[in-house]
A and B are shown apart, each in its own frame.
Chain A
Amino acid sequence: MSQDPHSTIDEASGTSTTGHEWDGIKELNTPLPLWWLYTFYACIAFSVLYWIAYPAWPLIGGYTHGLLGWNSRTAVVGDLKNLQTLRGPMNAKIAKASLKTIENTPELLAFARAEGAAAFAQNCAPCHGAGAQGSYGYPNLNANRWIWGGTLDEIHTTIEHGARWTADPDTHMMMMPAFGHDGILKPEQISEVADYVRTLSGNKPSPGADLAKGAKLFADNCSACHGPNGKGNIQIGAPNLTTKVWLYGPTKADIMHRVEVGGGGTMPAWHGRLDEPTIKALTVFVHSLGGGQ
């Protein structure tokens, strides 16, 4: 670097200045080491090579792909492959073992719970919640009331084929009729049957409720699916109405609304999207949340 023509000698220190001056303050020339400069040049050269080697420039129809062909998407795909290889031996054991065996072998149980937890967080948490605690219309999987059954095999079937997932021929299909919308029950009848249903789970009847009428309506319209005592039927996904666990809420208004519109929740079939060991791991994970039967 050649000297600036405005460079002067600073009187106080005897050092030359760089020629830069702001408001009468001059910058002393205190030379940096030369290798510093070369390091700077090397960084510039490196950045140019980096542009060429890696995806860098946005263009109208895409971007430059870089000579190395690297991109984060293939890197992720590679990482996932590695993960699969890493988990391969354990997943092979999971694939071979029965669900019961997995639960009874500490090593397999620990692995299945870990893998299941990860798969749950990715696939199931959006509906059932991060802690599988469920919410309005989405079952709480920690509790011990099951709509489609809570044994290992039943949970496995539900995960595999989903519920009311018409794309899967083996899915759980049954649905509650819309008693109100379809004109099967009149509004006052819906109110009466709701009064009765609330008492099934041990709630005090509302004042003035005619429970006999409600019981009669229940026997005629509801017991076919929910059973004569309201204990439900997991074969057809008719929930047990005598428990403290509610899918759509325990108030009379909640119940009336459900009788009015009928229906039921939909769950996708995971068969085909998740591989068998993952579905098994999910099954064991959900079962071991504590509500499994």
Chain B
Amino acid sequence: MNARDIRGTRRVATVAAVDNSLYAAAPKIYPQSVHGTFRRIKWALLVVTLGIYYFLPFLRFDRGPNEPDQAVLVDLAHRRFYFFFIEIWPQEVYYFTGLLILAALILFLMNAVAGRVWCGYLCPQTVWTDLFRAVERLIEGDRRERIHNDALPLTAERLARKALKHFVWLMIAWWTGGAWVLYFADAPTLVRELATFQAPAIAYISIGILTFTTYALAGHMREQVCIYMCPWPRIQAALTDENALNVTYRYDRGEPRTSLKKAEVLRATGGRAGDCVDCGQCAAVCPMGVDIRRGAGLDCIQCGLCIDACDTVMNKIGRPPRLIAYDTDVNIKRRLAGLGNVYRLLRTRTVLYTVLIAVIGAIMLTSLATRNNLGVAVMHDRNPLYLQLADGSIRNAYMVRILNHTTATSSYVLKVKPFTPANVTAIGTGKSKDGWPKVEIGPDQTYELRVLVTLPASASSVASRDITFQIINKTSSQIATARDHFLTR
């Protein structure tokens, strides 16, 4: 293969078609329907992922009287994120950082093992476009019929079909936007409000925007999103290697291509003929308008549909399947050299990604499992750092933030070690029996306490000493601590 062949067909085709312009209209792609293993996998994933997306907000999860009972809820107003039994507070956003890092690493790992499986099977753009295409096929017919009809002048019947198609698309797009906003409020309530026009304006605006973007991206822009807008093809090109399984035309087996008849004659006379009969099915089914036989290109999302198409052909002409297959560059070279296939799953990069994923996952799980539902954070006053009072004693002030993660109002006592209650006061609190500051904090709330610690003038002999704040939940006896310093000069 020379460099020119390796570039995708699309580019070559466009250049040839409108060679005199700096700008070119995108060629319309009419992918043909196809049946087979990969198509079935894609349908299954489509049903599962969209099913989760559309119905998850309606799933209930009982968290007790003071908490929302929606299983997955982003409560922006109260700054809480609920995911089943997990409740994330704003100061715990590092869990999201962790999730994002995990997601990136999983994407890397997927890519090292099997190329762009994400793009071909799970990317929302792919999934929704697939759904929109299915609708189009159902209403306007398959590839041949659409090409044929589009070349003819518009009739009333076809206009009606097109209108119906756009209507169904808009309905799907509208439901997509609608499902999105349900993640941000109690779903059944919001549905009722939306229906009676009582919902907040932002809900309607969000639905409007998402309806439009879904309709435009999945209905009209389709493969152009992957080719022109998405950065991932460029990134993944740098992440893949010759051992990754990519959708590949096995040219060692397919070339030289001939027609079926010629191949038979050639084989009968002892000549060499490839398995590819040049039927063009692989290119006809491709949703990206790619001819995979030209080699790997950035515009192939590796959905595997061409594999299904070619397998059907191979089946019909009685040749073994998988002329197009998930294969590696290494194996093609090896077969050409007369060697057997090797699949090296254990490579530095796959091992490294797996280890990193395991480590980060483990850290996140441990931190989630050992999470305290009582929290304390202390901030020393920076201005002034310390203060001399009228009688010469030294005082330090702290902002102590207590977090009550529980669903009940609890009473908390603050102890400051190694000081006595006489040294410690807190603004606007009561006192416990032994004289320490005591506060009540409502369910699922934080409380900010200004704490003043005072030592007599003689304390100035030590510039800085360690100080520990201890918050004790009187009901559960749970304790949270935070350390800081007491400064005297």
Which A residues have a C-beta under 8 Å from some C-beta of B? 1-3, 7, 13-16, 18, 29-37, 103-104, 106, 109-110, 113, 129-131, 133, 140, 142-145, 202, 240, 243-245, 288-291
Contact = CB atoms under 8 A, between A and B. Distances in A.
Given A30-B11, A131-B382, A244 B22 contact: no
Contacts of B268: none
Closest 3 CB pairs of A and B: A131-B383, A243-B390, A31-B24
Contacts of B390: 143-145, 240, 243-245
B388 A29 contact: no
A243 B23 contact: no
Contact of A29 (B15, B228, B382, B383): B15
B146 interface: no
Given A3-B21, A140-B387, A35 B26 contact: yes
5 contacts: A31-B24, A33-B228, A142-B387, A142-B395, A288-B428
A35 B389 CA distance: 72
Interface in B328-356: none
B428 A31 contact: no
Nearest to A242: B390
B383 A109 contact: no
Contacts of A1: 21-23
B86 to A, nearest CB: 28
Given A1-B21, A131-B381, A131-B384, A31 B392 contact: no
A31 B387 contact: no
A253 to B, nearest CB: 20
The secondary-structure label for the interface of chain A is loop
A35 B25 CA distance: 7
A147 B294 CA distance: 88
Given A36-B23, A104-B428, A244 B384 contact: no
Given A133-B384, A244-B391, A244-B392, A110 B25 contact: no
Contact of A245 (B20, B224, B382, B389): B389
Contacts of B21: 1, 3, 31
B1 to A, nearest CB: 15
A290 B450 contact: yes
Nearest to A292: B427
Contact of A290 (B24, B391, B452): B452
A21 to B, nearest CB: 16
B433 interface: no
B403 to A, nearest CB: 15
Q: Which of B425, B428, B457 has the most CB of A within 10 A?
A: B428
Contact of B14 (A31, A103, A104, A290): A31
B292 to A, nearest CB: 21
B427 A290 contact: yes
A30 B395 CA distance: 73
Contacts of A16: 15, 19-20
B391 A243 contact: yes
A103 B457 CA distance: 29
Given A103-B428, A240-B390, A33 B397 contact: no
Interface in B1-47: 4, 11, 14-15, 18-26
A255 B121 CA distance: 82
Nearest to B452: A290
B28 to A, nearest CB: 13
A130 B23 CA distance: 59
Contacts of B387: 133, 140, 142-143
A144 B18 CA distance: 84
B397 A290 contact: yes
